[in-house]
Structure 1
Amino acid sequence: MKKLLLALLTVAASTGAASAQVEIGLKLSPSVTNLRTESPSASSFQNESSKLAIGGGLIVDYFFGQNYAFSTGLQLVGKGGTISYFNESDQKRYEQKIGIQYLEIPVTVKLFTNDVATDTKLYFQLGGSLGGAIAGKIDGNKRFTDPVTGNENKALDYVILPDAAVLLGFGAEYQLGQSTKVFAGLSYHRGLLNIDNYFEDERDLSDVTLKNSEFALDLGIKF
C-alpha cells in the first residue's frame, strides 16, 4: 500500500511539473497590413494603401527551459490592402481593395529575459507562421466583377489559399498571480508566398507578385 501511494505521489508530482511547463492563453492583435507588389513596368502594380485589421485566438507556450519556450496556437487574422495596376488595352489605371481572412498556426520560439522589474520579463519571438485563406472581399464584396473583362468571380478566387510568413516580435510579460500573466508586444509578419491567383492566370499579366505584410500589436493573457 505504501509503495502504491508513493508511486501515485510520484506520478502526481511529475504531472504537475509537466503541466507547469505549458502556458495557455488568449491573444488579441489589432494590426496594419499591406500587400507588397512587384511586376513589369507595363502593368505597374503598386501598393496604394494599408488596411486596419484585427485578429486573435489561442496561444500555447511550451517551456523547454526556464527562459525558453516553443510558442504556437491557432489564430484568425485579417490581411490585405489596396493595390493599383495599369491596363494597357484601355490605358486606364484600376484600384482594388483586397481583404483576406486567414486561419494561422504560428511556429516560433520565445526567448525570455530574467526579471527586468518586479514580476516583469521581456521576450523576443522569432520563427514563422503557416496559414490558409478562409474568406475574402474585394472592395467590400465577397464577389467581384472585373471592370476590364466583365467576368464575375468570388473574391477568394483571386488569391491562393496557403500562405507562409516570417514572424519577428518582442514585448513584455507581467506576472499577475501564481499562474496568470498578461503581455503586450509588437510583431512583424512578412509573407513569403506570392498569393496572386488571378492576374497571371486570368488576365495574362506576366510576373505579377503580391505578398502579405503585417505589423501587429499583440495583447493577451495566459492562465
Structure 2
Amino acid sequence: MKKSLLALLLLGASAGAASAQVEIGLKLSPSVAYLRADSPSGSSFQNEKSKVTLGGGLVVDYFFGQNYAFSSGLWLTGKGGTISYTDKTSATNADPVRRNQEIGLQYLEVPLTVKLFTNDVATDTKVYFQLGGSVGALIGSRLNGDKRYTDPATAQETEASKHFILPDAAALVGAGVEYQLGQSTKVFAGLSYHRGLVNIEKYFDKDRGIKDVTLKNNEIALDLGLKF
C-alpha cells in the first residue's frame, strides 16, 4: 500500500513537472512616474510634475496551467517626480516660501504577479492580464539633479539618499498582447500601472520637523519585451 501511494505521488510530481513550462525573456519599459504627495494644510505638499523614465530587465513566466502563469523577474526601474510645499522656515525670510523639489529615484525590483492568458484571439496571438505587486530596494537617488542636497531654508547639506527609506512596495495591474514568432520565441507589448504602497519620505519629518508628510511612488509603464 505504501509503495503504491509513493508511486502515485512520484507519478503526479512527474506529470506536474512535465506540464509546467518556464519562459524567460527581457523587457524594456519607458514610463511616466509621479509622486502622490499628502500633508497637513500648513505645509501643503503636492505633486507638480511627472517624470519620464526608462527601465527594464528580466522577465520569468512559470506556467502552472495552459493559460496561467506566475510571473516574476528582476527589474531596474526609475521613479520620482517634482513636488512643491510651503516652507515656513527660511534663513533669509520670515514669511512662508513655496518651494519645488525635483526627485529622481532608481530601484531594483522583484515583481510577484499572476498572468492570465486568453486563448488565441487571432493567429498565434493572445491577450494577457497581470495582477499582483512588486517589492524593491532604492539603489540611487538625486534631488534637483544632484546626489547631494543643500536645504535652502537651513543651508545644511545632506546626501539625497538620506531623504528616503530603502524599501518600496507597489500594487501592479496590467494588460497586453503576446504574439508567438516561432516555436519558443514570443514578443509582447502592454501597459502596466504601479501604485506605491509605502511612504518613502523621511527627511522632512526627521530633519525639518514637518510632520505627517507622505510621498508614494506611482508609475504608468509601456512594457515591450521578447521571450525565448
Q: TM-score, structure 1 length as denominator? A: 0.91
Deviation sequence 1:47-97 (CA, Å, 0-9, x none): 000000000000000000000000000000000000011011341011100
- Residue in 2 that maps onto 1:6: none
Distance in 1 between the 2:215 and 2:18 partners?
43
C-alpha contact 1:59 1:72 (8 A) present in aligned 2: yes
Instruction: Give the structure 1 partner of residue 23 of structure 2.
Output: 23
The whole-number CA distance in structure 1 between the counterparts of 2:215 and 2:47 is 9
Aligned to 2:219: 214
Residues 147, 222 of structure 1: alpha-carbon distance in 2 compared, 3 angstrom cutoff: same
Instruction: Name the counterpart of 2:154.
Output: 149
Name the amino acid aligned to 2:178.
E
Task: Name the residue aligned to 2:100.
Answer: 95
Q: Which residue of 2 aligns with 1:108?
A: 113
Match of 2:202 among 182, 197, 203: 197
Q: How far did 1:20 drift? A: 6.5
- Could you tell me which amino acid in structure 2 is paired with residue 142 of structure 1? K
Residue identity (%): 70
RMSD: 1.3
Q: In the alignment, residue 176 of structure 2 is paired with which amino acid?
A: G
Matched with 1:84 is: 84
Cα offset, 1:156, TM superposition: 1.3
Q: Secondary structure at the match of 1:201?
A: helix
Within 2, Cα distance between the matches of 1:169 and 1:123? 8
Q: Which runs of 4+ in 1 moved over 2 A?
A: 17-20
User: 2:50 is matched with which residue?
Assistant: 50
- 2:71–2:112 contact (8 Å) kept in structure 1: yes
Contact 2:58–2:73 under 8 Å retained in 1: yes
Q: Which amino acid aligns with 2:87?
A: N
2-structure distance, mates of 1:81, 1:154: 18
Q: When the two structures are aligned, how many residues end up with a matched partner? A: 209
8 Å CA contact 1:158, 1:198 repeated in 2: yes
- TM-superposed CA distance for 1:157, in Å, is 1.1
Which amino acid in the other structure matches residue 58 of structure 2?
Answer: L
Q: Which moved more, 1:169-178 or 1:19-28?
A: 19-28
* 1:169/1:207 CA distance change after superposition, 3 Å: same
Counterpart secondary structure, 1:177: coil
- Where do 5+ consecutive residues of structure 2 fail to align? 1-13
Structure 1 pair 18/101, CA: closer, same or farther in 2 (3 Å)?
farther
Do the aligned residues in 1 keep the contact of 2:19 with 2:64 (CA within 8 Å)?
no
**Segment of structure 1 superposing worse, 69-78 or 80-89:** 80-89
Change (3 A) 1:86 1:221: same
The residue aligned with 2:10 is none
In 2, Cα distance between equivalents of 1:197 and 1:18: 49
Q: Pick from 118, 127, 132: which aligns with 2:123?
A: 118
- The answer on whether the counterparts of 1:100 and 1:156 sit within 8 Å (CA) in structure 2 is no
- TM-score normalised by length of structure 2: 0.89
Tell me: CA distance 1:20–1:65, structure 2 relative to 1, closer, same or farther (3 Å).
Answer: closer
CA distance in 1, matches of 2:65, 2:208: 52
Which among 117, 134, 137 is matched to residue 139 of structure 2?
Answer: 134
